Amino acid sequence: MSKIDPACIVNSHTEWDPLEEVIVGRVDDATIPEWHVSGKAVWPAKHWGMYKEHAGESFPRELVMKASEELDNFSQVLEMEGVTVRRPEVRPGDFDRPVSTPDFESVSQLYAAMPRDVLITIGNEIIEAPMAWRSRFFEYRPFRSLIKDYFRQGGGWTAAPKPEMSDDLYVPEDKWQEGAGKFVTTEYEPVFDAAEFTRMGRDIFVQRSQVTNDFGIEWMRRHLGDEYQIHVLDFEDKNAMHIDGTFIPLGPGKVLVNPKRPCITGNHKSFFTYQGETKEYALPDMFKGWDIFVAESPVLPESHPLYFTSPWTASCNVLLLDEKRVVCEASEEPTIRKFKEWGFDVIKVPFRHFLPFGGSFHCATCDVRRTGTLQSYF
């Protein structure tokens, strides 16, 4: 028998159950993190100069302002769709000053824009992730007043072991080489970003990535115990970071996949054409009979600044309000058309100014409550 209470203020088991309450991030005071090998492993090379020369400064202020307006508008749209929205608290000095611990110093902290990266709700519990970047060590702080409030109302609250993030956690920059399956984080201690995990009831999927190590995955496995199965998926992706731009559950029996990063994990193969080439997508056998929806290429112009990610977040990083309603970026016409063909009701929200900060609607949110119970979909 499950100990999970569906009436708890914190209750979410999947990416698709009807969304009742959500945290939407704030991008205010977003600060450029310092150059570090853990960033080099994932940041687009054309922005490396910015990290090397402008760490500790604000991201371009006009962009931050427009992104902040987009977040406010997105929050209003969610409220109009009947979702309760809560926001983190950003205080002066949260990000734009140096921090030090016994193990490292960092010129700044990053932001509170991406609750999905730092928090994950599994059942009745909110878990704070032990993130792998020094610039994100204190990222839980802007969310603490919300988490305390949920705890007081009966929600569960766990902070995974805080990493030391000494040099032992990273491959030194002069030894670091990029390549699929090569990771910049060592197994010194558990680390993961919450957005590395995606939830389908009793089955939870994760990838080893530049910010999530096997030790971190094992911590989650033991923490969650027998009621859950954690499955590690492997993708062709040399900058792997966060599964929600790569493999996105859309409902029971439905998953959205990024054609640029095929899954190479199992024997259940499907094929599709991407840029004139036939591609193989190999999932574990448990996905037999599932619909594999292939994401459309993003239409974001090449010149659009993306400081942290590939452009695929524009088309893949969608938020489901239930099995029917999906929030898509308003200029991504091909994606919108596809979702309609697949039978979804599309809610179009402009988010182009937010994308540069490393994600879209899924990243910018964290589920607090979705109607539903813990089930198995396989």
Residues forming the active site: 193, 242, 363
Find the Cα–Cα–Cα–Cα dihedral 223, 359, 254, 274, rounded to 10°: -130
Rounded to 5 degrees, φ, ψ at 225 are: 75, -160
Q: Residue 259, interface with ligand DAV (CB under 6 A)?
A: no
Q: Least distance in Å: CB of 363 to ligand DAV?
A: 4
Q: Residue 262, interface with ligand DAV (CB under 6 A)?
A: no
- In Å, how far are 60, 89, 178, 269 from 263, measured between CA atoms? 36, 38, 19, 9
Q: Residue 298, interface with ligand DAV (CB under 6 A)?
A: no
**Residue among 316 and 321 whose Cβ is closer to ligand DAV:** 316
- How far, in Å, CA of 31 to CA of 170, rounded? 22
Distance, CA of 140 to chain centre: 15
Q: Least distance in Å: CB of 375 to ligand DAV?
A: 26
Collapse the DSSP code of 314 into the 3-class scheme (helix H, G, I; strand E, B; otherwise coil) and give the result.
helix
Q: Least distance in Å: CB of 298 to ligand DAV?
A: 10
Q: Least distance in Å: CB of 313 to ligand DAV?
A: 5
- How far, in Å, CA of 166 to CA of 316, rounded? 34
- How far, in Å, CA of 7 to CA of 117, rounded? 25
Sort strands 156-159 and 125-128 into parallel, antiparallel or unpaired. parallel
Q: Residue 241, interface with ligand DAV (CB under 6 A)?
A: yes
Q: Tell me the window of 94-102, 133-141, 305-313, 322-330 that interacts with ligand DAV (CB under 6 A).
A: 305-313
> Counting runs of H as helices and runs of E as strands, what totals does the chain give?
8, 19
Residues 355-374 touching ligand DAV, rule: CB under 6 A, are 359, 363
Number of residues that bind ligand DAV (CB under 6 A): 12
Q: Tell me the window of 151-159, 161-169, 218-226, 311-319 that interacts with ligand DAV (CB under 6 A).
A: 311-319
Q: Which residues contact 12 (CB under 8 A, 6 or more apart)?
A: 121, 122, 123, 199, 367, 368, 369, 370, 372
Q: Tell me the window of 75-83, 146-154, 236-244, 267-275 that interacts with ligand DAV (CB under 6 A).
A: 236-244
Q: Residue 195, interface with ligand DAV (CB under 6 A)?
A: yes
Rounded to 5 degrees, φ, ψ at 92 are: -55, 135
Q: Residue 313, interface with ligand DAV (CB under 6 A)?
A: yes
Q: Residue 38, interface with ligand DAV (CB under 6 A)?
A: no
Contact by Cβ (8 Å): 99, 138: yes
**Residue among 106 and 207 whose Cβ is closer to ligand DAV:** 207
The region, left, alpha or beta by phi > 0 then psi within -120 to 50, assigned to residue 251 is left
Q: Residue 112, interface with ligand DAV (CB under 6 A)?
A: no
Q: What is the 3-state secondary structure (H, E, C) of 31-90?
A: ECCCCCHHHHCCCCHHHHHHHHHHCCCECCHHHHHHHHHHHHHHHHHHHHCCCEEECCCC
Q: Tell me the window of 28-36, 69-77, 292-300, 304-312 that interacts with ligand DAV (CB under 6 A).
A: 304-312
Residue nearest ligand DAV, CB atom distance: 245
Selected binder of ligand DAV within 115, 245, 251, 262 (CB under 6 A):
245
- How far, in Å, CA of 366 to CA of 357, rounded? 16
Q: Residue 242, interface with ligand DAV (CB under 6 A)?
A: yes
**Residue among 83 and 241 whose Cβ is closer to ligand DAV:** 241
**Residue among 106 and 313 whose Cβ is closer to ligand DAV:** 313
Q: Least distance in Å: CB of 308 to ligand DAV?
A: 7
- How far, in Å, CA of 306 to CA of 63, rounded? 12
**Residue among 44 and 266 whose Cβ is closer to ligand DAV:** 44
Q: Tell me the window of 61-69, 164-172, 308-316, 370-378 that interacts with ligand DAV (CB under 6 A).
A: 308-316
Given the rule CB under 6 A, which residues bind ligand DAV?
195, 241-242, 244-245, 309-310, 312-313, 317, 359, 363
